[in-house]
Amino acid sequence: MDQARETVGGKSKMIRADNLWKKFGRHDALRGLSFSVPEGSAYALIGANGAGKTTAIRILMNILEAEGGSAEVLGVDSRRISPRELAQIGYVSENQDIPKALTVAEYLDYLRPFYPRWDKSLEATVMRELRLPRERRIGDLSHGMRMKVALACALPFRPKLLVLDEPLSGLDSLVRDEFMAGLVRQLEDTTVLISSHELSEIEGVATHVGFIEAGRLLFEESMTGLIDRFREVHVTLDREAAPPGLVPEEWLNIRAVGNVVSFVDSRFSEDRLGAGIESLNGSVRNVDARPMSLRAIFTALALAERDAAESKRG
């Protein structure tokens, strides 16, 4: 299986989705989605609500069947994932139905025999770190506690792949911190695919980012590459600024307030930025190019997509 896994640049792909299509009624949930998750990476699949993240993850986990395209997980066609592969995949989802009538300990007792690599000492460590009450019924726990239970059940077998579908939704900041801390501490060599709206939380974890919009992947790249190429730029002119006419296409969300023109440079390099700024009318007093957070990048991209869609419709 490992040998069959696709290898790119010396790193094999733990997940490969190729041109996935999925409809729900008349709605196209996925429209040719393709992306790949390198081994050892922490891949953040980001996108607005309804973009298709959960649908994609469900297809990868063989919970849903795609109408077109293919996907491989751990080198196996996702439609043929067997207990052998599932024993190496941890899965946590905000929608996961965990047996509510069992206590946390009973649930762990139930799951343990299914995983040949289950490590009881790691289980104890995770339980301690997540501060989970073993004897409480799962149904009596809060949503946040239940998500921590799901995480606690996804880690002790040292999964090769950890799939997290909106794991932080609905969690308060304290529980979110505990969840992420528990996750980060145990990751080691695990490859992670995480979809989340909580971009600030996953920023410290993700090594790769895929941006999905309306069922298609707009781009994917490494986190460092993404952070390096995005800058929030403020150009101060010596007179009242007007929205510029022709600007480089990599400039997003351009606006002019007073004598300041602001935009997001999505392919930042000092030389290119300098050349681009020369096209602005007026002499430049100051240029401020700041690195952006993942959240800010996501927001900029989402706004740019929305504007592009509106101008296409208009």
Partner 1 sequence: MIWHIFRKDLKLLWRMVIGVALINLMHRAIQSGAGIFRNASVTPAVLLSGMLGTISLLVTGVLIVMVVQQDPIPGFTQDWLVRPISRRDLLLGKVLFVALMAQGPIFLIEVGQCLAAGFPLGPSLAAPLSRSVWMFLAMDLPVLAFATLTRSLAQAVGAAIAIVMGFAIFTQATILYTNSLFNRLWVTDAAQVAWGLAGVATVLAIQYYRRKTTGARWVYGAAALVWLFVQFLPWQPAFAIEKRLSPQPLAADAVQIAFDPAFGRFHRPAGQPAPVRFRASRVEDDVDLWAPVRVNGVSEGQLLTNDGALERLIDPSGTMIDLGRSGTPIPWHVRSPFHYLIFIPKDIYNRLEDRPVGLEIDHSLTLLQANPAQAIPAAGGDRWIEDVGRCATRISAGGGQVELGCLTPGNPPCVTLSLEYNGTVQGAVQESGCGSDYAPYFGRVIGDSISRFARELPFAGSELKDAQVVFTPYHPEARFTRQVVISNIRLSDWRPE
The kind and range of the H/E element at 143 are helix 143-154
Q: If binding is defined by CB under 8 A, does position 110 make contact with partner 1?
A: yes
C-alpha 119/C-alpha 272 separation (Å) is 53
Binding mask 5-44 for partner 1 (x = CB under 8 A): ----------------------------------------
For the CB of residue 227, give the shortest distance to partner 1 in the complex, in Å. Answer: 32
For the CB of residue 115, give the shortest distance to partner 1 in the complex, in Å. Answer: 7
Binding mask 112-151 for partner 1 (x = CB under 8 A): -xxx------------------------------------
* Phi, psi (rounded to 5 degrees) for 83: -55, -30
Name which of 155 and 297 has its Cβ closer to partner 1: 155
Size of the site for partner 1 (CB under 8 A): 26
Which regions of 178-259 does DSSP assign to beta strands (E)? 191-195, 208-213, 216-222, 231-237, 251-257
Contact 7, 170 (CB under 8 A): no
Binders of partner 1 among residues 192 to 221 (CB under 8 A) are none
**Listed residue (64, 15, 78, 24) closest to 215, CA to CA:** 24
- The token duo for 225 is 């590459």
Binding mask 262-291 for partner 1 (x = CB under 8 A): ------------------------------
Among 102, 187, 254, 287, binds partner 1 (CB under 8 A): 102
Q: If binding is defined by CB under 8 A, does position 174 make contact with partner 1?
A: no
Q: If binding is defined by CB under 8 A, does position 60 make contact with partner 1?
A: no
Residue 139 one-letter amino acid: G
User: Which DSSP symbol is given to 238?
Assistant: S
Residue 194 one-letter amino acid: I
C-alpha 251/C-alpha 232 separation (Å) is 10
C-alpha 236/C-alpha 122 separation (Å) is 55
C-alpha 113/C-alpha 290 separation (Å) is 51
Among 83, 243, 245, 314, binds partner 1 (CB under 8 A): 83
- The token duo for 247 is 């600007």
For the CB of residue 33, give the shortest distance to partner 1 in the complex, in Å. Answer: 17
Among 105, 111, 254, 284, binds partner 1 (CB under 8 A): 111
The residue range among 109-117, 206-214, 219-227, 288-296 that interacts with partner 1, by the rule CB under 8 A, is: 109-117
* Helices 143-154/120-130 angle, 10° precision: 160
Under the rule (CB under 8 A), what is the footprint of partner 1?
58, 61-64, 83-87, 89, 91, 93, 95-99, 101-102, 106, 110-111, 113-115
